Amino acid sequence: MIQVKDVHKSYDLGETFVHALRGVSFSIEKGEFVSIMGPSGSGKSTLMNIVGCLDTPSEGTYLLNDRNVGNLNEEQLAGIRNEQIGFVFQKFQLLPRSSALENVALPLKYASVKQSERLIRAEEVLDKVGLTNRLTHKPTELSGGEQQRVAIARALVNSPSILFADEPTGNLDSKTGNQVLEIFKDLNKRGQTIVVITHEREVAKQSQRTITIKDGEIGSDSIN
């Protein structure tokens, strides 16, 4: 599903030239649950931006479902993100004045799905993450763990081929964080491909495989 081949990413910051990625190569198969782990400044966020089609490599090749992402313009990248990728972020990024159901249905509005179908599909994915009884609650009426589950449901509502989670337990206590990771495991058992970006070894251990990155290079790639 994901093929990263000798990918480099550099940034010209005027007085300095930053080499964020230095020849990274790996692949991820459909149905895998993989963690990309590294400390702050290791290049893992840059790597997630590339594999999540938020950015393109300076050099090298990135294939997503056999399509060369590096050759695409911003409009084409946005199309891939909308159709094939779901994102879950550390800070949830929910609309504060909208209910859980409305937050989850929002991506379908951008995809021009009619309202009646949007609400049905949003309710279905909220049921998957155990929030059937919280459909009308706004984010301020939900716990941190519930807000993250809403964010996961929103990421799933377009039936993405791959789900990216960037530090998904970073704003949660350890018990709630483990509950969120159990949701990822359950989704993975149902066939969902999941990539978690983390700096925490205990989080990475919950996946099937861990790719570590340091100073813009792959340090290790091992089965958990």
pLDDT band of residue 122 (cuts 50, 70, 90) is very high
Dist. CA 170–CA 197, nearest whole Å: 11
99 within 8 A of 175, measured Cβ to Cβ: no
What is the tens place of the pLDDT at every residue in 212-221?
A: 999 999 999 9
Q: What pLDDT is recorded for position 89?
A: 86
Q: What pLDDT is recorded for position 30?
A: 95
Mean pLDDT of 109-124: 89
pLDDT band of residue 91 (cuts 50, 70, 90) is confident
How buried is 52 (Cβ within 10 angstroms: 0-12 exposed, 13-18 middle, 19+ buried)? buried
Return the structure tokens found at 78: 């946005």
pLDDT band of residue 98 (cuts 50, 70, 90) is very high
Q: What pLDDT is recorded for position 52?
A: 93
Name the pTM for this structure. 0.91
Q: What pLDDT is recorded for position 35?
A: 96
131 within 8 A of 146, measured Cβ to Cβ: yes
pLDDT at 13 over 90: no
End-to-end CA, the chain: 20
pLDDT band of residue 204 (cuts 50, 70, 90) is very high
Mean pLDDT of 5-22: 91
Dist. CA 118–CA 108, nearest whole Å: 6
Domain 29-56+78-223 classified CATH 3.40.50.300? yes
What is the tens place of the pLDDT at every residue in 25-65?
A: 999 999 999 999 999 889 998 999 999 999 999 999 999 99
Q: Which residue has the higher pLDDT, 103 or 14?
A: 103
pLDDT band of residue 90 (cuts 50, 70, 90) is confident
